[in-house]
Structure 1
């Protein structure tokens, strides 16, 4: 019976005050939001293995700051609740105040416009040509000239829009298709006439 009580106490007794247990994840959460905003959208985009390593290491680095010297189940539940609560509260506030959302999240960055790469914006976002090529390939494009618009969104995702053919290109394509069809008919008629001789 004594062992059960000892295990029960170790699992659920908080070694640190409840207020500290709630404040730790909230402070770390807010600091991470600020740091990710300062260091840019690239970290969220996870363009290469280094970005992924940074994000994975980041979670491990702040773990002790969030939980402190507490390994109890109760402490884990309280910490998880505090993280979810601060996230919900922040999303609720951002939903209600679009201006604050724009300030916190930042704005979109246009990387390609009408097939032309904005080199200065690539430098600001620390995007290498290889990173950009990878993004375009994932979206089904082999060349920058095929892209009408490529935007790095504040949440780290890329929006890529291909060039739409112009009215003249569509019309030219239709005319070429009709000419090809007529050429095929003329060839078949020639063969038919030659076979009758």
Structure 2
């Protein structure tokens, strides 16, 4: 077999393994990764490198592996977006973390979200206490969205902006 075709096949296999592994072992957005998650990703990338390129350590081999990963990623994303079955299989559903000021501890435990991570997400959305949260959701992209009961608070991902109703009308 052509050694470059072998690299493409190996890279595609590793790609699908990683998609399945991330689906099984949890979802987090890159901005929500902790030190343990980053170490794991770095070690996994090192572990699967040889599985993709084999004994070919040439520049061409590395470029072909990387190109294969980009191409399969584009194709897979398009196929998943068009197939309801694959979308359900690969994408998770949103999960309620807090509802009307009550934390869903079983959901947090099942998803592996610590109370510190939840508190941080709440603060990032400009809310001081979980009791002020109407709804907090773990979205399908791994981010945590928070809706508070404060009508004068426009919440963004990283900061809060106080505005009065008259400011909003102008």
Q: Is residue 2:147 matched to residue 1:134? A: no
- Out of 23, 26, 35, the residue aligned to residue 12 of structure 2 is 26
Q: CA deviation at 1:164?
A: 3.9
Q: TM-score, normalised by structure 2?
A: 0.80
Q: TM-score, normalised by structure 1?
A: 0.70
- In 1, distance between residues paired with 2:107 and 2:124? 20
The residue that corresponds to 2:138 in the other structure is 152
Q: CA deviation at 1:42?
A: 4.2
- In 2, distance between residues paired with 1:107 and 1:45? 19
Structure 1: gaps of 5 or more residues: 1-15, 166-197
- In 2, distance between residues paired with 1:73 and 1:128? 42
What is the correspondence of 1:31-110 to structure 2 with a 5 Å cutoff? 31-42=17-28, 46-110=32-96
Q: Give CA deviations for 1:129-173 in whole Å, capped at 9, x if unaligned.
A: 1121122122222200121111112322111122244xxxxxxxx
The residue that corresponds to 2:99 in the other structure is 113
The residue that corresponds to 1:13 in the other structure is none
8 A contact 1:115–1:144 mirrored in 2: yes
Q: CA deviation at 1:93?
A: 0.4
- In 2, distance between residues paired with 1:162 and 1:47? 24
In proportion to residue count, which structure has more strand?
A: 2
8 A contact 1:44–1:155 mirrored in 2: no
Q: How many residues were matched structurally?
A: 152
SS at match of 1:111: strand
- In 2, distance between residues paired with 1:101 and 1:121? 22
SS at match of 2:107: helix
Q: Is residue 2:133 matched to residue 1:124? A: no
Larger radius of gyration: 1
The residue that corresponds to 1:6 in the other structure is none
The residue that corresponds to 2:158 in the other structure is none
8 A contact 1:110–1:150 mirrored in 2: yes
C-alpha RMSD over aligned residues: 2.2
Structure 2: gaps of 5 or more residues: 152-170
Deviates more, 1:122-131 or 1:44-53: 44-53
Q: CA deviation at 1:56?
A: 2.2
8 A contact 1:47–1:131 mirrored in 2: no
Q: Give CA deviations for 1:10-33 in whole Å, capped at 9, x if unaligned.
A: xxxxxx712211111100000000
